[in-house]
Amino acid sequence: MRDLLARAARDLGRINYQRLGAEGKETYDQSRRFSQQAQQALKERNVAFAWTLADKAATLAAELVKQ
């Protein structure tokens, strides 16, 4: 799960937010929110929920990199 979060953070770090269109910015922001929520879920020991959120964050970030 931490690998997923690290991958999402790495992918988001490669993206120039200012160059994204409105849809891209929304996807970027959503990926960041999922990452933050996953971190919070981990702190609360809700591993299953954290896993789902981390997967969503990584998937969205990877989609942005492909664009």
| Contact yes or no for 56/34 (Cβ under 8 A) | yes
> Does position 59 have pLDDT exceeding 90, yes or no?
yes
Q: Show Cβ contacts of residue 34 under 8 Å, excluding neighbours closer than 6 positions.
A: 8, 53, 54, 56, 57, 60
Q: Show Cβ contacts of residue 1 under 8 Å, excluding neighbours closer than 6 positions.
A: 38, 42, 47, 50, 51, 54
Which pLDDT does position 2 carry in this prediction?
A: 85
State how many domains the chain has: 1
State which residues form the domain around 59: 2-66
Express each pLDDT in 6-27 by its tens digit.
Answer: 999 999 999 999 999 999 999 9
Which pLDDT does position 64 carry in this prediction?
A: 95
